[in-house]
């Protein structure tokens, strides 16, 4: 899973006029992943001010996924031959003060733990 972290400023750049070249880069990578069959699923997440429920405390707050300056803005699930290939894809993702985290997904039985 390639987890995309951004912030309000990066979203403004991506979706503004100056972001057209960045969007074109992103669309080219997505087209490549679709054509190769490596793309399994992808989604952008909405408003980062989501409701967060803190387990066991009964506290409900508004805020990003984690207490951080970055927001979990979306993800790609890819089926690749190696972690190196996933890192290669992440390294090519258009950057505007964003980060992408590469995490393996556990199989159905969770035996990788």
pLDDT in tens, 37-95: 999 999 988 766 656 666 666 555 555 444 556 678 889 999 999 999 999 999 998 87
Residue 2 has a pLDDT of: 93
pLDDT of residue 71: 76
Cβ within 8 Å of residue 4, ≥6 positions away: 72, 73, 74, 75, 76, 93, 98, 99, 100
| Helix axis angle, 20-36 to 8-15, nearest 10° | 90
Position 38 scores a pLDDT of: 97
pLDDT, residue 41, reads: 95
Asked if 72 and 64 count as a contact pair (C-beta separation under 8 A), the reply is: yes
């Amino acid at each position: 899973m390639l987890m995309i972290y951004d912030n309000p400023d990066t979203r403004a750049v991506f979706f503004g006029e100056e972001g057209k070249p960045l969007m074109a880069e992103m669309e080219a990578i997505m087209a490549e992943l679709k054509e190769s069959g490596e793309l399994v699923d992808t989604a952008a997440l909405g408003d980062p001010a989501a409701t967060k429920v803190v387990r066991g405390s009964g506290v409900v707050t508004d805020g990003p996924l984690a207490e951080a300056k970055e927001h979990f803005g979306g993800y790609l699930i890819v089926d690749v031959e190696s972690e190196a290939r996933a890192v290669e894809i992440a390294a090519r993702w258009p950057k505007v003060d964003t980060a992408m985290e590469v995490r393996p997904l556990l199989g159905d039985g969770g035996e990788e733990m």
